Chains A and B, each alone.
Chain A
Amino acid sequence: MIRIFVPGDSVAVACGVEAVLVALRAVAEKAGRPLEVTRTGSRGLHWLEPLVEVERGGVRHGYGPLRAADVDLRILEGGVHPRHLGPVEDLPALRLQTRLLFARCGVADPLSFSAYAARGGMAGISRARALGPEGVVAEVTASGLRGRGGAGFPAGIKWKTVAAAPGARKFVVCNADEGDSGTFADRMLMEGDPLGLIEGMAIAAFAVGAGKGYIYSRSEYPLANRTLAAALEVARAEGLLGPDFDIELRIGAGSYVCGEETALLESLEGKRGQVRAKPPLPAHHGLFGMPTVVNNVLTLASVPWILSQGSAAYQALGHGRSRGTMPLQLAGNVKRGGLYEVPFGMTLGQIVDGLGGGTASGRPVRAVQCGGPLGAYFPRALFDTVYDYESFAAREGLVGHGGIVVFDDTVDMARQARFAMEFCSIESCGKCTPCRIGSVRGMEVIDRILAGDEVERNIALLDELCETMKFGSLCALGGFVPYPVLSAVRHFPEDFVAPARRRQRELAS
């Protein structure tokens, strides 16, 4: 019997893993070698996907990136093969990581409860029950865990507020509306270790006294949703969910702004995803008007580890006021794209050049956008920025949800700035004027700059418009879109001025 591990993650599927598996089965059958196939999540080494692992002598050997045409008997029998990577656990890209949150992802069958329990699953909720609700809140607070959705708000304080708030019912809502381009950690976790998320939500519910949970996922993630739905059934069968606390999976409908927590609550209530004014906070007045914990997938999935290993172990990792690990997601034009879970504290240069290996195109890195469509563009000159919430904020940047999108020197930053405004105009919920109207005016002003129309005056106007959007918008959509726009203007002014000069020269000649 030959044991092989084949990822069923969206990245592997999109890169053609199913055809590879068909080829592997055919080769095994022809050779009369029985095959035991375990479908797993992804290791996050996406430049090696489809990455198939073959167990030999208890060690899992990696082969990737594989195409169906690469498959032959040498893979199954351990002969020399050009795609052989050696033992997967020894790959430098995995060795340098500190995997707490993604420890099980890509390793085991995400829907096997016994595999989950064998790898530390359920230890968190056992300790939570021993500590009692107040003890759990104290432990999460002491760990220094901050919301991984983007805002970085201390999770323990949010939980304490909900626990203390009066309410006939309370809810735990998992924000899995991972809309930021360049991020896929939530998706990977839901596809690779959904039981970890469910256990985290069950712990949160126990801590605050909630009877029902919702996971708000995306219609863009059909595979993740299928895995989650199956994992919820497993959790019910195993008693992790039951009459005291159950979870309903809800699917969004293509709206980016529903990733904002109050718009998400509106959407769960069956309404347009329009942002609510805060206060009141969701912790006091959330879903159906009841006290509600709203946390990101990664925040909730961090909790079982913190409970089972203790807050001190988590607190010991990180940099400054950013504690624990962050799953960095390297994307776009990058040589070694994928997910890297590391403690806070690396520099941006170490991440992009070191982990990522520069661009996929082989051209120089010109800009990286950190923290999604509303995050700033960083030039190489700022590659010494330390990756943590405060250091990024000091440079007008966002850690956000951990996405880092790399661009080579062919990028037109004026076009990226215009896209940020266009995206905001498409996705604005329409409730507040600075976002709804400001984003459209922003596109127009950038168009005028690029046409060479009173360039300096219009750049000043764009600056003023961004100021209004930043301080006048109701939520982070309109409020943060100035980050990509102004960082592009500030760090890459030549892209805004040069086209205008070119056009003036054309007109003159």
Chain B
Amino acid sequence: MTLGYHGAIMTPTGSLEARVLAILAHHAGREGALLPVLHDVQAAFGCVPQEAVPVIAKGLNLSRAEVHGVVTFYHDFRSEPAGRRHVRICRGEACQAMGADALATRVLAHFRLDWDGTTSDGAVTVSPIFCLGLCSVAPAVQVDGAVHARVSAEVVIRLAEGGT
């Protein structure tokens, strides 16, 4: 059993609609539930699939446009799943002061990516993030949710390629 961001039990099988409905049922009665629902949908599918939007809209008595507007407003919500490893490099000023720009340039060049791109084999996605709260031990990155500080480009590339 896996739990979503807000504790919804993730049904690993079943149709997309059934799985989204299970998430909606978990949040029934919650006021202003759209963000918690979207977090759980993304936790289940790795993104917010287009086909989930009308199901969510109906479940929360919203228009599809309203749901689409929210999905596209927030940086976290993706339309396609990220690669098997998701590297987020902090671009905040504190990390910049410790060379984060040069680090990011090297990591992106190594994987031949632009920001938010995924390698063609689906292994690695590199995204920017604005502040992990690790500003005193910069530069910092997050790899699949795990935080790493005082990193070099070599360390980030190693982590992205599955090393420790």
User: Which chain A residues have a beta carbon within 8 Å of chain B's beta carbons?
Assistant: 10-11, 13-15, 46-47, 49, 178-184, 186-187, 219-224, 250-256, 267-274, 288, 329-334, 337-339, 360, 369, 373, 403, 405-408, 411, 416, 419, 423, 427, 429
Contact = CB atoms under 8 A, between A and B. Distances in A.
A271 B63 CA distance: 12
The 5 closest A-B pairs by CB, nearest first: A181-B92, A337-B136, A270-B34, A332-B97, A331-B135
A333 B98 contact: yes
A182 B31 CA distance: 33
B140 A181 contact: no
B130 A427 contact: yes
Interface in B123-164: 129-138, 140, 142, 145, 147-150
Nearest to A45: B136
Contact of A270 (B32, B90, B147, B148): B32
B18 interface: no
11 contacts: A10-B147, A11-B149, A178-B131, A220-B129, A250-B36, A251-B35, A254-B129, A288-B31, A332-B135, A406-B97, A423-B130
Contacts of A220: 129-133, 142
Nearest to B67: A270
A104 to B, nearest CB: 19
Nearest to A407: B97
Nearest to B138: A332
Interface residues of B, number: 45
A187 B132 CA distance: 10
Given A251-B5, A253-B35, A222 B145 contact: yes
Contacts of A360: 98
B137 A253 contact: no
Choose among A49, A403, A405, A408 the residue with the greatest number of B CB atoms under 10 Å from its CB: A405
Nearest to A373: B93
A365 to B, nearest CB: 10
Given A15-B149, A182-B94, A253-B39, A268 B129 contact: no
B95 interface: yes
A14 B134 contact: yes
A411 B96 CA distance: 9
